[in-house]
Chain A
Amino acid sequence: MYAFDIHRPETLGEAARLLSGNEDAKLMAGGQTLIPTLKQRLAQPSDLIDLGQVGDLKGIREEAGGLTIGAMTTHATVQFAPLVKRVIPSLADLAGHIGDAQVRNRGTLGGSIVNNDPAADYPGAVLALGATVRTNKRQIAGDSFFTGMFETALDPGEIVTAVHFPRPDSGRYMKFRNPASRYAIVGVYVAKTGGAVRVAVTGAAACAFRWTAAEQALTRSFTADALESLTVDPSDLNSDLHASAEYRAHLVKVMAKRAVAGMM
């Protein structure tokens, strides 16, 4: 690891001040992505601004029937919170399958969506549930938050404070995971609210996306069979040592059908 100075601000304003005008400063949340990156010397920040002491970034509350979850809330907190299990159980289930217990004890919602790893789980939830990302400056619709591989709509120096997830009538996230890292080789989150269905796919492409053909088919008939005739075009999907694009295309359909079947 290259040397850096560490700062532990106690308020959001102080964190924003430390960040502004310093291009080489970086925020740290749970550090579960950032610290391994620093250890491999893939990044060289001059200053690390640890958000761990900023109290109002943590916690889960009910809002407008859905849930508002602070950016610094850990995956384990979401996994075990009775409130999440009651209001959006599929979200608690997703959080409980991220990485391993120790990663979940430190890794955070904000860190996960800002990092926007193509294989991360939470981006699937943000798209499928039609979430809104809140920052220290504005609100960003979940649908326009993920802009590319490891890229988001955030401006430099902008800090995610919370994510608001509306409550679906039912939802289910199914992931085909990499057995070593537990990241999604393909993950599909299906959410149904009234007559509307959203289907989000993560792990398969440069970043999470909505599978609109499946949404239309499921809106007509909410059954796993309704997906049978659909095909997924592998040409835009990822191909790596874990899975070819063709295999990922196949898995998208299988995971979507399993998610729907699990909601019956």
Chain B
Amino acid sequence: MPITVSLSVNGRPVTKEVEGRTLLVQLLREHLGLTGTHVGCDTSQCGACVVHVDGKSVKSCTMLAAQAQGASVTTIEGLAAPDGTLHPMQAAFREHHGLQCGFCTPGMVMSAVDLLQHNPSPSETEVREWLEGNICRCTGYHNIVKAVLSCAETMKSGAKAPAAAAE
């Protein structure tokens, strides 16, 4: 039986008809064309699909679209300012070369942004622990960790994150 879900995605109200079994990531990618959110596994382990739901990072491949009814979802597309200015986390990944092929990057960035919400000045160990749910096959994590630590420094020294569209 198809159902109707209404939610906010990157600050825009969205209403779609989906199946009970439609995953949130399918709603984002296939119904809304927001293909920045990736799917890298079918075991809920890789974190390529991480988005924020009501401000918290979740694996959008392990949540039904129906469970997002009424929620406010932010994807990687919603992180930069409307004028295109990158979020400090995106800028830090670019600056520190925190990516190679880029497949894991949207999930890494969304997860790392959530970390700084909990812990604005994480240690290197805390960054590595937090990113356990995000797998990267390319970088060896070194520059990713460097980017997150540097972003924490930037954000502490006052460079404000552009208010992410929906949070």
Q: Which residues of A contact B (CB under 8 A)?
A: 1-6, 8, 31-32, 35-36, 38-40, 48, 50, 52, 76, 80, 99-103, 105-106, 180-182
**27 A-B pairs in the complex with CB atoms less than 8 angstroms apart:** A1-B21, A3-B19, A3-B20, A5-B1, A6-B64, A8-B69, A31-B67, A35-B23, A35-B63, A35-B64, A36-B62, A39-B42, A50-B64, A50-B66, A99-B133, A100-B132, A100-B134, A101-B115, A101-B133, A102-B58, A102-B59, A103-B44, A105-B57, A105-B58, A106-B63, A180-B45, A181-B45
Chain A residues contacting B133 (CB-CB under 8 Å) are 99-103
Can you name 16 extra interface pairs (CB under 8 A) apart from A48-B20, A106-B62? A5-B1, A6-B66, A31-B63, A31-B64, A32-B44, A35-B23, A35-B64, A38-B21, A39-B42, A40-B42, A101-B57, A102-B58, A102-B59, A102-B133, A106-B58, A106-B63
Chain A residues contacting B3 (CB-CB under 8 Å) are 6
B20 touches A4 (CB 8 A): yes
Which B residues between 119 and 141 are near A, CB-CB below 8 angstroms? 130, 132-134
Q: Tell yes or no: B47 within 8 A of A by CB.
A: yes
Interface footprint category on B = 20 to 34
Q: Tell yes or no: B92 within 8 A of A by CB.
A: no
Known contacts A4-B20, A8-B69, A35 near B47 by CB under 8 Å: no
B62 touches A31 (CB 8 A): yes
Shortest Cβ-Cβ A-B pairs, 7 listed: A100-B133, A6-B20, A1-B21, A100-B132, A105-B56, A102-B59, A6-B66
Q: Which residue of A is nearest B52, CB measured?
A: A105
Chain B residues contacting A50 (CB-CB under 8 Å) are 64, 66-67
- Count A/B pairs, Cβ under 8 Å: 74
Q: Which residue of B is nearest A182, CB measured?
A: B132
Chain B residues contacting A32 (CB-CB under 8 Å) are 44, 62
Chain B residues contacting A100 (CB-CB under 8 Å) are 47, 132-134
Chain B residues contacting A101 (CB-CB under 8 Å) are 57, 111, 114-115, 130, 132-133
A103 touches B59 (CB 8 A): yes
In the bound complex, CA of A181 to CA of B19 (Å): 30
Chain B residues contacting A4 (CB-CB under 8 Å) are 20-21
Chain A residues contacting B114 (CB-CB under 8 Å) are 101
The CB with the most chain B CB atoms within 10 A, among A6, A76, A103, is that of A6
Chain B residues contacting A35 (CB-CB under 8 Å) are 23, 44, 62-64
In the bound complex, CA of A2 to CA of B20 (Å): 10
